[in-house]
Structure 1
Amino acid sequence: MWRWLLAALGLSPAARRADARAADCDAGAVGERRTAALLRPLEAGGWVVLHDRAIPGARRANADHVLVSPGAQLFMVDSKLWSGRYPVYERGGILWHGQEERGQSVRSVLYETDLVTRAVGAPVQPVIAVHNALVAGDGFFVQGVPVVPAVRLVEVLVGNDGPRDRAAAAVLARKAVAVLPPHLG
């Protein structure tokens, strides 16, 4: 009887999981919009910024932000909007948010980076940009992936660009646009 009543009220385990997934998607969209606003000034400096791109070979995954720098460096930024109530830190080679293990976030970004590298034919540097939550040490690495407070994202990207190479950057940008179409999901 209780299961029937809870299901009728939309409180079944499946409904709770669906509600949680929808909330995660909403938070993800907010984080992506905030990151897009932070990245907008880079375009005036010669950066090509692509938002919400489909990744060839990935069924559901998408690249939140793909950037081609004036120095022909390719970056993929994964936006995270996590609660400010808990810090983000690395422990034992694993990403944590408070007491919640977030290793899947790192595994996902590494998987997506590998697919984007293959599609574009150039190395990609992933970056996880965290909104709201305090990031330990003002940024750190987990499995080779920089995890930075979103407010430092532009500084980190610009600081990791190479010398300007307009021709190489233009070729790389054309390739990225061609093989990473807008994500429609």
Structure 2
Amino acid sequence: MNAEEHRARNSRAGASAADMARSLGAVDRRRRLAIGGGIIAAVLVLAWVLSESLQAGIGIALVAVAVVILVRPGGRRSDAAKWRKGAVGERSTARVLRPLERRGYVVLHDRGLGRETDVANIDHLVIGPTGVVVVDSKNWHRNTMIRHRRGELLVGRTRGAKVVAGTALERRRVSTVLTMELGEQLGGPVQAHAVLAVHGARLPYWRRPEIEGIPLLRARGARRWITSLPTVYDAAAVEQLAAVAARRFPPYAPPERPLPDGFRA
């Protein structure tokens, strides 16, 4: 891989999340302008009618302008901020994974699942001597609590199974596609692993959280975890897997319309 290809591949990290943040931010700005303009016009007319003075109406309307400008943005702005934060996390994880490329691994960032109907993406797909690994970046608030309760892992107030649902789907999809394409040549099914690379939140030191076989690791520890897996492929097999993965999981293109509130990032 030449230097230009290397830069292009790594520049993909967090690209779709950043695009979504910009899209939601633009929607929010238009919405705020429309609402603000309506409020100002209504206040101006009402003040004019009640005070029977155009000057008083303009003065009150100017106060309304200041209020609209100073009021914190609503939910759409929060959604945009969430996606921006996700993009930052993906770029940070990409930096953590980059040294793997000097050890015979191929790292693909921000890839689609290969189906037009999909609205999910693979944050990072690592292919190397220790196999195929889906790496899902999570940039959570530093106060997010990760704990066990009644035999179940909770992330904040969210059940662990829900947290990893998308990652588990991606793992199955990657395994299925690569097995269909290369299973016979490689002598058996292609088993895909998955890991959550967590930024921000404090993970328990005494016990590594794991949900449905997917560990939650501090992002900086994801690289070591990947290289600690058993070696299963030689350089030729890695090259085959990487070529098929790059073709079957192309760079992700987000849906044209904003995703519903609460969709994972």
TM more than 0.5: yes
Verify: 1:65 aligned to 2:124, yes or no. Answer: yes
User: Where is the helix percentage greater, Structure 1 or Structure 2?
Assistant: 2
CA contact (8 A) 2:90 2:123 kept: yes
Identity over the aligned pairs, expressed in percent? 32
Structure 1: tracts of 5 or more residues without a match:
1-6
Give the count of matched residue pairs: 175
Q: How far apart are residue 135 of structure 1 and its match?
A: 1.0
Bigger RCO (CA 8 Å, 6+ sep): 1
SS at match of 1:56: coil
Contact 1:127/1:146 (<8 A) preserved: yes
SS in 2 for 1:130: strand
Query: What pairs with 1:23-172 in structure 2 (closer than 5 Å)?
Result: 23-57=81-115, 59-71=118-130, 73-92=131-150, 94-101=152-159, 103-121=161-179, 122-137=190-205, 139-162=208-231, 165-172=234-241
Letter in 2 for 1:34: S
User: Deviations along 1:21-78, whole A, 9 cap, x unmatched?
Assistant: 222211110000000000011101111000000112352100000000124x000000
Q: Is the 8 A contact 1:139 1:149 kept in 2?
A: no
What CA RMSD, in Å, does the superposition of the two structures yield over aligned residues? 2.4
Deviates more, 1:103-112 or 1:30-39: 103-112
Deviations 1:109-128 (A, max 9, x none): 11121122222222211110
Amino acid at match of 1:110: A
Normalised to the residue count of structure 2, the TM-score between the two structures is 0.60
Which runs of 5 or more structure 2 residues have no equivalent in the other structure? Answer: 1-33, 37-67, 180-189, 255-265
- Matched residue of 1:86: which SS? coil
2-structure distance, mates of 1:127, 1:109: 8
Query: Matches of 1:8 and 1:53 in 2, distance apart?
Result: 37
Shift of 1:102: 5.1
Could you say which structure has the higher strand fraction?
A: 1
**How far apart are residue 19 of structure 1 and its match?**
2.6
Secondary structure of the residue aligned to 2:109 is strand
Which one has a bigger Cα radius of gyration?
2
